[in-house]
Amino acid sequence: MKVYLDNAATTAMDDRVIEAMIPYMKEHYGNPSSVHSHGREVRSAIEKSRKKVAELLNASPSEIFFTSGGTEADNTAIVCGIHTHGIKHAITSPIEHHAVLHTLEECEKKGFIKLSKVEVDKYGALNLDHLQELLKSNPNSMVSIMHANNEIGNINDLDAIGNLSKEFGAFFHSDTVQTMGHYVHDLKSLPVDSIVAGGHKFHGPKGSGFLYVRKDKKITPFIYGGAQERNMRGGTENVIGIVGIAKALELAYEDMDGHRKHVEGLKSRFIDQLKECIPGVAFNGLSADLDKSLYTVLNVSLPPSEENSGMLLFNLDLHGISASGGSACSSSATVGSHVLRALGASAERDSVRFSFSRFNTADDIDYTVRVLKELYSVIA
């Protein structure tokens, strides 16, 4: 049996997304910058996609810029936001995705900014009082805090963070890669200045993404060389990716409540069975709290096992189960998880991130639990 439980890394493309993309691989191949009919029909598809994304997010089409994915969008918002608005100080958390963390650390290394990190507790929850202290001491900062953590699933309160940022004149950027397509984002009411998306996280194509920048917080381009994306991103557009990500987002919004109910049920089933079958099992961060974490992510901390230490992902793969994760420790083979280290997780335990999608089934969950039970030689 083959079971895919690594949906936080990437998801399977929806067949309807592929169908929407195919005409732009075959019949509609013009360059969207060309003025002839072949180019115009492709340009129309891009703008229809932009309008669709904007409508779903309650934003203006002029605020949506297509990119190669979430990493490029994060880099653009952060680097160009800092330069455009003359920002000298930035605030982030120690458990951000490396697309944010490494970018800000590089900006500090080059002398553009001074970087501060908000404290987190052993569950990865942000200390908002500390954030307020940092903002008081450093008004007009760049604040970059993710909506939800990709490893432990913790969901942050964007309204609280955004309102604090606004109070102290900060530019608030949020990496929303893990929540886009899974949660509603109303950008007219949400107090963010920029957010991002990667299409392959919600059943769209890899190599597709977008950046939202609020119209009153415009930034300069990150990539030069052409007038594409309203002079915001040089280079011929990835037309099939743009059509694909817009279609994927449309499908995600069509039955978001239904998808959530299905996936949340699978996660709850998994938690209950693991607790019953594996003594000593625990869960990293807030991932087992259905109200405070992504319904798509569960980070499991398993008791020390000589047979599985450092080999658990490999052993799962041998049984046809795809998952991801790692321990809090570092070795010559792996740098370990910076997120788990920030939480003070035990280096003696193996941690695995299981992440779910609407294409998963109860059979996937039951089989995975049986395999884990066998690997840990536990008799119920």
Distance CA 98, CA 71 (A): 9
- What pLDDT score was predicted for residue 329? 44
Secondary structure (H, E, C), the chain:
CCEECECCCCCCCCHHHHHHHCHHHHCCCCCCCCCCHHHHHHHHHHHHHHHHHHHHHCCCHHHEEEECCHHHHHHHHHHHHHHHCCCCEEEECCCCCHHHHHHHHHHHHCCCCEEEECCECCCCCECHHHHHHHHHHCCCCEEECCCECCCCCEECCHHHHHHHHHHCCCEEEECCCCCECCECCCCCCCCCCEEEEEHHHCCCCCCCEEEEECHHHCCCCCECCCCHHHHCECCCCCHHHHHHHHHHHHHHHHCHHHHHHHHHHHHHHHHHHHHHHCCCCEECCCCCCCCCECCCEEEEEECCCCCCCCCHHHHHHHCCEECEECCCCCCCCCCCCHHHHHHCCCCCCEEEEEECCCCCCHHHHHHHHHHHHHHCCCCC
Q: Which residues pair with 3 in a beta bridge?
A: 321
Position 380 pLDDT exceeds 60: no
Residue count of the chain: 380
pLDDT band at 124, cuts 50/70/90?
Answer: very high
* Residue 312 exposed, middle or buried by CB count within 10 Å (0-12, 13-18, 19+): buried
- What pLDDT score was predicted for residue 341? 92
Pair 173, 193: CB distance under 8 Å? yes
Lowest mean pLDDT among 73-82, 109-118, 304-313: 304-313
- What pLDDT score was predicted for residue 327? 53
Mean pLDDT for all residues in the chain? 95
- What pLDDT score was predicted for residue 309? 73
Mark 28-55 as b/e (b = at least 16 C-beta within 10 Å): bebebeeeeeebebbbebbeebbebbbe
Distance CA 339, CA 213 (A): 27
pLDDT single digits (tens) 244-267: 999 999 999 999 999 999 999 999
Catalytic residues: 329
pLDDT single digits (tens) 290-341: 999 999 999 999 998 877 777 899 999 999 999 998 654 444 345 689 999 9
pLDDT single digits (tens) 130-175: 999 999 999 999 999 999 999 999 999 999 999 999 999 999 999 9
Q: What are the residue ranges of CATH 3.90.1150.10 in the chain?
A: 3-10+255-375
Distance CA 12, CA 20 (A): 15
Q: What are the residue ranges of CATH 3.40.640.10 in the chain?
A: 15-254
What are the distances in angstroms from CA 160 to CA 111, 132, 145, 173, 250? 30, 10, 11, 13, 28
CATH number of the domain at 3-10+255-375, out of 3.90.1150.10, 3.40.1350.10, 3.30.470.10, 3.40.50.2300? 3.90.1150.10
Q: Which residue has the higher pLDDT, 277 or 327?
A: 277
Position 70 pLDDT exceeds 50: yes
Strand order in the sheet with 89-92: 64-67, 209-213, 194-198, 171-174, 142-144, 89-92, 114-117
State residue 106 phi and psi, 5-degree precision: -70, -40
Rounded to an integer, the average pLDDT of 356-374 is 97
Token couple for 157: 């309160």
CATH topology for 15-254 is Aspartate Aminotransferase; domain 2 (3.40.640)
Distance CA 313, CA 9 (A): 15
Position 344 pLDDT exceeds 90: no
β-bridge pairing 321-322 and 3-4: parallel
pLDDT single digits (tens) 197-212: 999 999 999 999 999 9
Report the greatest alpha carbon distance in the chain.
70
- What pLDDT score was predicted for residue 307? 78
Position 117 pLDDT exceeds 90: yes
Give percent above pLDDT 90 in the chain.
91
Q: Which residue has the higher pLDDT, 334 or 181?
A: 181
pLDDT band at 378, cuts 50/70/90?
Answer: very low
